[in-house]
Structure formats: structure tokens, C-alpha cells
Chains A and B, each alone.
Chain A
């Protein structure tokens, strides 16, 4: 069976965690199927990254080009389409990240290979690929199968696989970039950092975090008062920021901040994986949600099923009494 490819994701000089997670999964698949693991690294002046990856794969394919300096799906697509057609890997793993979501669907379409996106597990069975994914905000698991093909592509959800130390002592193969002309259809211009806000939720010992369940901006003071009673900082999930009820600097999750407070109290947050990825390292997680099947209860240490508009006021009063 042909190689498994893992597309290395890096940004601003650093290899991103998803890369090591995919390599770990790729290594396990290779051990089962008896094939070889290749890390594909595209960039410019990234020789040090290639060295860093040697332990993690049997082979590192390195393609350098000034047009690959920063991620550009069009440049990546041209290079990878060539490489995949030459090398014919059986499976290509890409992160289900801002990088992979911009690249994998169009790349797979261009090279005519089946794609399964946002998968939490992947299995090789004979000539086809099976994968597990989640739908409906994490409330349903589905098992999917890709149509049999010489090559398949799967994007993997970040933080789905834990990474262990290992050393494969991979060898480095340099491949000449096939890019000859400037790619004019899509140009990377710059990175923009989110503006610094008034609070730093990453420094808090206790976070009271509010989600869509709060329903109306007029209800925000209710949770703010609970936070105040504990000397906690108020944070939130994405929908609250999307609706402009709280500022972006309070957002916990993949596109916001990663937090690890001693206590994280999630109120009216369903627990989409993008949110969970930003808070699952918290010491103790207490979740309040009306839906007993909300995915937040899978990551919480303590769960309360019920109406936040009843629980929060009682809890606030009791806390004020207890800690007065």
C-alpha cells in the first residue's frame, strides 16, 4: 500500500499542534497497514522545521518556494496537486483548521479524490477509507465511508488525538517547486492580530462563561453579577461575540483564547468542539445547560441540567451569603 501523507501546518515560524496529532494518527495507521508515513512540508526557509519533523515520520518531503512563505491555498493546491499525482499516496491527512478548510475541498476536487471533512477518527479498510465525524453541533456521531479510490483525503479535527513521543528517524527528500509563475488570483497580504481588549481572561483563576443560552443581551448582567460574587472574570462562547453582546477579548475557543483557570463555570454553553478546545484544560469544569444531551457535559466534571435563569440567581445569592 502506498504512503500516507500528512500535510504539515505551520504559521509564523511554528509548526502547529494539529501537525503532530495527524502524524501520530498517521503513524498508527501505517503500523497497521504496513506502509510508510510521509510529512509534506511546504514553505520558504523552513529547513529547521524539516529537522524537527524527522522523528515524526519515515520521510519528510520538503518543497520550498518564496510563494509558499505564507499559506495561500492556490499556491499550495498547485504544488500538492503535482506531488500527489507523482507520488500517489493512498491517504492524505490535512487539518480541519482555517488552513485545511481553505485548502482540502478545492484540492480534492482538482485532483478528483474523495474527501471527508472534520473527522474525529479515520480507519483504512482494504481499498476504502472509513471515518467518524460529528454532526448537529456534536450531538450526533456518524460513521462515513469514502468511495474506493487510489487516493483519499481526510481532514482531521484538532485535539482529536493525543500525541506521544516516538522517533522514526525520517529521511529528508527535497522536491523542486513546480511554481513558475506568480499566482495572481489570490495573494497573501498580511496577518492582523486581534486588538488587545480590556480584560485578559487567560489570567483568571475563576471564569464564569456564558453562551447562547443567555438569549438576550439584557440578561448579561445576571451572569456578570455571579462572576462578581466570586471575584471571577466573565468570559463567553462565540455566539455571544458574534451578536456583539460581549467583546472579542472575552471569547474562549479556537478562534478566541485558550484558558486554563482553576474553575470554569459554563452557563448556557452547548459545547461545540471549537469552544471545548479552548477550555478543556481547566482544573474543574462546572456546566449548566437545559439540554441533558449537550456535549458540554462530556467535558464537564460537574453538570447541572436546568434553567439557567433559575439556577444563576439562587447560586449568586447563596455565594454572596457563603463568602460574605
Chain B
């Protein structure tokens, strides 16, 4: 089975002090630590598990500058066989639609039975690329997949995660795009040694012209949604901050618990 997995390198921002960059439309990335998007980590693991079970190859694809090789090497270290990096100044500023367009052009000439993406990215969080890519390739899709039960006879039986703990079981024809939800598996740990082992593997690099794309098909020109302004939401609105020493804070919490929680 030929599996393609689309991945992204994203900044870790959960505990970072962020600033808006000089364009006013994005955050300043300088100084942030980057990693493989969490959802994509599960998607790569799922691709490798499927390869182990059904045979075939896993190809990891990502978009962006040379630093993106880090996450492609990580995917190779986890068990992907090939890696492709899509890079071009003309790709910058792409929205979810334009990103899917570039990916579709890269994937069209390849052989594939299954394409996996993460449900969404930690940064932009569009949750849009997988199903859009499927439509561009003219194949079916399922979003929020949290279990791939079985693949047989050119069809897959998959679970989609719905709200409130409910799941939906689907039967879908291959090739298909599945967007993978976190928790579907337990992604393997890749050691520095594991990454070193794949350091010499070739990462194929393709640009706008290699994909036969016109400049107006990617970047802001190829996008249907434009970001105009980024700002920080008002923080801590409504929350009364408890300050002091650990002991003082604890006493305040206990007073609140007595008053509001009926704890005596």
C-alpha cells in the first residue's frame, strides 16, 4: 500500500511569550522552538503502522524552507521511506486552500492508496487542508479519524470522532484522504541516533515550476482568505489573580473553596 502523509513544522507557543511581527498580520517566529505539528505526529505513526501491516511505502511531504527538513527527517526516523519538501517564495502567504492546491499538484503524479494529514495544525488551525486536498484530487475523504479498523478490497472501515464521546463508523473507498485525530495511536519516540541514521537520506525538493503551477495559483494570489491583522485577545478578563507566597495563595484558595464549594 502506497501511503502519503502531509506534515507541517509549527512553532510551540503554549508557554511562549508572543509578539506580533512587523507585518502586523502574524506572530514573530524568531526565537520560538519549532516541532512537528502534534496531529501530524499521530498521522505519521498511523502511516507507519499501516505500512507494517499491509506493506508498501510511506512518503512524507511538507511545505516550507530548509528548516522543514527537521520534521521530514523525524518522519523518516519514525519509519517513512521517502520525503519531499515543497518550497518556493511563491508559496508564502498561502491559506488552507492554496496549501491544499500545492499539495495536490505534488501528489497528483504519485502513486497512492491513502493520504493522511493531521486534523488541523497547532498554529493556524484551519482544519481544512485534508478534505480540500481530497476534493482537488477527486477522491473521498473522512475528517477527524480516530480509528482505522480495517483496510480490505480497496475500502477502509474507519471511525470519525464526533462530539460527546460519540463515534461514527464509515466505509470509504480508496484512494482516500483521512485527517487523523490525536490519540489514535501512541507515536513512537525518535532518538537523536534515530534521526542521525536517516540524515543522509535524500529529501526531494520541488518548487512552483517543478509542480507545473502558475504563480497566481499559490501564495496570497492563490488564496481565497487573507489575514489582515493579528492581535492578542484581552487576557485574564474577569479572572481575579491570586498573588503572594505559596502559603498565601493556598490560604486564598481555601477561603474560596469554603465559600463557593461548600467544603467545610
Contacts from A to B (Cβ < 8 Å): 11, 70-74, 96-99, 101-106, 108-110, 114-118, 130, 133-147, 149, 184-194, 205-206, 212, 230-231, 238-239, 241-244, 248, 251, 254-258, 262-263, 270, 283-284, 286-287, 290-295, 297-306, 310-311, 314-315, 317-319, 322-323
Contacts and interface: CB of A to CB of B under 8 A. Distances in A.
B261 A136 contact: no
Contacts of A144: 225-228
Contacts of B118: none
Contacts, number: 290
Contact of A303 (B14, B18, B125, B236): B236
Contacts of B163: 97-98, 254-255
Given A136-B123, A322-B254, A194 B167 contact: yes
Given A106-B141, A185-B140, A319 B162 contact: no
B120 to A, nearest CB: 8
Interface in B153-171: 157, 159-171
Interface stretch (B76-84, B131-139, B188-196, B208-216): B131-139
Given A287-B239, A303-B236, 8 more contacts: A74-B140, A114-B224, A192-B159, A255-B162, A298-B236, A304-B242, A311-B249, A314-B249
A72 B130 CA distance: 16
B57 to A, nearest CB: 24
Contact of A98 (B126, B161, B235): B161
A54 B166 CA distance: 29
A36 B95 CA distance: 30
Given A98-B161, A303-B236, A105 B135 contact: yes
Contacts of B239: 287, 297-303
A243 B183 CA distance: 7
B49 interface: no
A241 B183 contact: yes
Contact of A143 (B97, B132, B228): B228
A192 B167 contact: yes
A32 to B, nearest CB: 20
Contacts of A117: 96, 126-128
